[in-house]
Amino acid sequence: MDIIVCIKQVPDTNDVRIDEKKGTLIREGVPSIINPDDKHAIEEALRIREKEGGKITILTMGPPQADDALRESLAMGADEAILLSDRAFAGSDTWATAYSIARAVNAIGKFDLIICGRQAIDGDTAQVGPQLAESLELPQVTYARKVEISGDKAVIERALEDGHETLETSLPAVITVIGDLNEPRYPTIKGIVTAYRDKEVGKMTAADLNADEAKIGLKGSPTQVKKTFVMVPKREGELIEGTAKEAAGTLIERLQDKNVLR
């Protein structure tokens, strides 16, 4: 079972500070880490490998310093790591990112499963995993909280807001995972030494992808960030009690009172 895990290096902070003028995240002085959901993706791959054997390749798209995130993944026990890095990717939105990663996956070639974290703590879009699946024309299961491999199929418990559903998918497939799935292991001292002294991080640039230039970077990004800001809740929310029918009735009344509905 060969697994590709897609990760992202993100700034380690839960209350990200924002440069109001530029509308971008302030990264200076903030240490970089592997995105937390992605660590669960790595852990799941390691657990699957322990049972099924095979090889784990970690893939990330990012600036050269994303090498640190890949080394940490290797220290946790991954077999190989690839850094997809090129100025041509600058300004990529989730669509262009997913396209670029899909091309990189094709360049890697052989795999049975792709695991991604649900979403990154810096962007919180949860889009790249699903878009990657679409780009590769593979089945996808998102919000996985339990993964069982049986032969050429995977049985996955998928978390929903009010419960879960169990899905079976053929392989290869793309899975995005949530934190409830597992407890990521710590890298070992030996693993750290091996990751820095004995292992190589593979490099890929835009030229290696055989990609359509119009589909990568800023040019390939249909969305652009206009402004980044922290949402400040101005009013308290209210939960309307009652059965669905009663609550809907109350909601319609309220909206009518405010002239939203007539």
Partner 1 sequence: MDFQLTKEQRLVQQTVRDFAEKEVAPLAQEIDQEGRFPRETVPKLAKLGLLGMMTDPKYGGGGVDSVSYTIAVEEVSKACATTGVLMSVNNSLVCHPLEKFGTESQKEQYLGPVARGERLGAFGLTEPGAGTDAGSQRSVAVKEGDEYIINGSKVFISNAEAAETFVIFVLTDPTAGARGISAFIVEREFPGFSVGKVEDKMGIRGNGAAELFFEDMAVPADNLLGQEGKGFKIAMGTLDGGRIGIASQAVGIAQAAMEESVKYSQEREQFGKAISKFQAIQWMLADMATEIAASRHLVRKAAYIKDSGKPYSVAAAMAKLMASDVAVRVTRDAIQVHGGYGYIKDYTVERLYRDAKITELYEGTSEVQRMVIAGSLLR
Given the rule CB under 8 A, which residues bind partner 1? 31, 68, 71-72, 75, 186-193, 195-197
Closest CA to 43 of 6, 76, 82, 3: 76
Q: Do strands 153-160 and 56-61 pair parallel, antiparallel, or not at all (unpaired)? A: unpaired
Cβ neighbors of 260 (< 8 A, separation 6 or more) are: none
CB atoms within 10 A of CB 159: 19
Minimum Å gap between C-beta 40 and partner 1 is 15
Closest CA to 18 of 222, 235, 225, 234: 225
CB atoms within 10 A of CB 111: 20
Closer residue to partner 1, CB minimum distance, 191 or 217: 191
Minimum Å gap between C-beta 194 and partner 1 is 9
Closer residue to partner 1, CB minimum distance, 68 or 79: 68
Minimum Å gap between C-beta 70 and partner 1 is 11
Closer residue to partner 1, CB minimum distance, 110 or 197: 197
Closer residue to partner 1, CB minimum distance, 48 or 76: 76
Distance of alpha carbon 222 from the chain centroid: 19
Minimum Å gap between C-beta 47 and partner 1 is 15
